[in-house]
Chains A and B, each alone.
Chain A
């Protein structure tokens, strides 16, 4: 049973049904049902043409619903039982589906859920498990999302930027469960790049690959966070890094810079350094400057200040930090780090504690508490000697 094949075919089959006149919401349900049937039947009876099989079964399921619906409303079914020979599978159909699922009228979480189901081919249960909500809640979130976009015409492809934001969210937000959503985001971004080779699509793919390459080194056995500077770089996936760098370089060569390319460039510079000491912080600061010219991103402003601290010394970093809003996420954590580098351990320890209280995720909170404890215990020992 090739789960990956089924998931890859999902958006194409939805696209075919919509092209034949099915409405998106019913088509999407019909394709999900066809997937369930495929999982049940293919192991004993694999089809010659998986895509054709799915289209046939999904179309039948769609007709059942459409006829029942028409009977209920006592109206003629407008859809033909035997569709005219379909046009060749269209890349545009799939592209439009990506846009529809990321439509700006959807909230980010609805867009994520709908994308994972209709484009990613995941089941509602898998999506619910990934985001730790009951399946009934996720089912409602998805059907509301489908109702929201019901009036959107599928024949107009939307802004690719909204699609990229949704794929970035899938990649970046934490998740649980059996499905590797980071890998799923990479798969969908790869597909998108195949259909729509815009430099920012390539930039996002490169960004994902370069971060995914570090995953084996990012987490301790106990689930604790390993900061970039302390990661065992021997455990980084060099194939992913090479691929990410190559994709990024090709994108940058087209001279249409965007925020994902700039972020990927920072990630590539980190990936380039064999040791943390070899990191080219001057270039990283330059890329953050580019990024801030493209987008007023508070995280980028903070990261720039930290990078300045590495390039020009902690005092310079603190001077950059002073100009930023202290309410920015991770402001205290960045200040703590720079004060520690500057040798002011008392202030650093206090700020690490403050940062831990402000942390919004648990691995980061635990890491910051450990940092505060480390500095406090060093000072405790010094007092003991004195």
Chain B
């Protein structure tokens, strides 16, 4: 079993096929999209493959250490960094083939016009704990 992160972000990947921002959808299309995501998560729980899913607020800030005795420096958000992470799902699956299959299904979530968004999702395996037998 390997855990995979399905990451929905807007950094580096080409635009989705059905690339209409969510606020231009009809309310019914928004509801249908959310329903699809909930059903997907429920189905994965049923197959024993679901670990976690979270959506993130689009608003955030940058923070860094600024030296002993000083408060951390905050900055941003920077409008030029279009690397917004929208959310993620963590799955625990038998192999990479299954992870790709599920990511494909998630990317088929309906968007504008009720048609699949075909958005790019980044698929990254988690590093595991070390196995016992190595030699």
Cβ distance A272 to chain B, nearest Cβ, rounded Å:
14
Q: In whole angstroms, how far apart are the Cα atoms of A141 and B46 in the complex?
A: 8
Q: In whole angstroms, how far apart are the Cα atoms of A176 and B130 in the complex?
A: 11
CB-CB contacts of B43-59 with A at 8 A, as 1s and 0s?
Answer: 01111111110000000
What residues of chain A lie closer than 8 Å to B130, measured between beta carbons? 174, 225, 361-364
Size range of the chain B interface in the assembly: 20 to 34
Q: Are B125 and A360 in contact (CB under 8 A)?
A: yes
What residues of chain B lie closer than 8 Å to A207, measured between beta carbons? 133
Identity of the chain A residue whose Cβ is nearest the Cβ of B46 in the assembled complex: A140
Q: Are B129 and A137 in contact (CB under 8 A)?
A: no
What residues of chain A lie closer than 8 Å to B71, measured between beta carbons? none
Considering the complex, which residues of chain A in the window 342-364 have a beta carbon less than 8 Å from any beta carbon of chain B? 359-364
The verdict on A157 contacting chain B, using a C-beta distance below 8 Å, is no
Q: Could you say which of A137, A175, A361 contacts B92, with CB atoms under 8 Å apart?
A: A137
Q: In whole angstroms, how far apart are the Cα atoms of A132 and B51 in the complex?
A: 8
What residues of chain A lie closer than 8 Å to B131, measured between beta carbons? 172-174, 361
The verdict on A134 contacting chain B, using a C-beta distance below 8 Å, is yes
Cβ distance A373 to chain B, nearest Cβ, rounded Å:
18
Q: Are B51 and A270 in contact (CB under 8 A)?
A: no
Size range of the chain A interface in the assembly: 35 or more
Identity of the chain A residue whose Cβ is nearest the Cβ of B131 in the assembled complex: A172
Q: In whole angstroms, how far apart are the Cα atoms of A360 and B52 in the complex?
A: 21
The verdict on B63 contacting chain A, using a C-beta distance below 8 Å, is no
Q: Are B133 and A133 in contact (CB under 8 A)?
A: no
List 17 additional contacts besides A134-B45, A173-B1; criterion CB under 8 Å. Answer: A108-B94, A113-B48, A133-B48, A136-B45, A137-B45, A141-B48, A142-B48, A144-B48, A171-B132, A172-B133, A173-B129, A176-B129, A207-B133, A211-B133, A360-B125, A362-B129, A365-B127
16 contacts between A and B (CB under 8 A): A113-B48, A131-B92, A133-B51, A137-B44, A140-B47, A172-B132, A173-B1, A173-B131, A174-B131, A211-B132, A215-B132, A266-B135, A303-B135, A360-B125, A361-B129, A365-B127
The 5 A-B residue pairs with the shortest CB-CB distance in the complex, in nearest-first order:
A174-B129, A141-B48, A363-B130, A362-B127, A109-B1
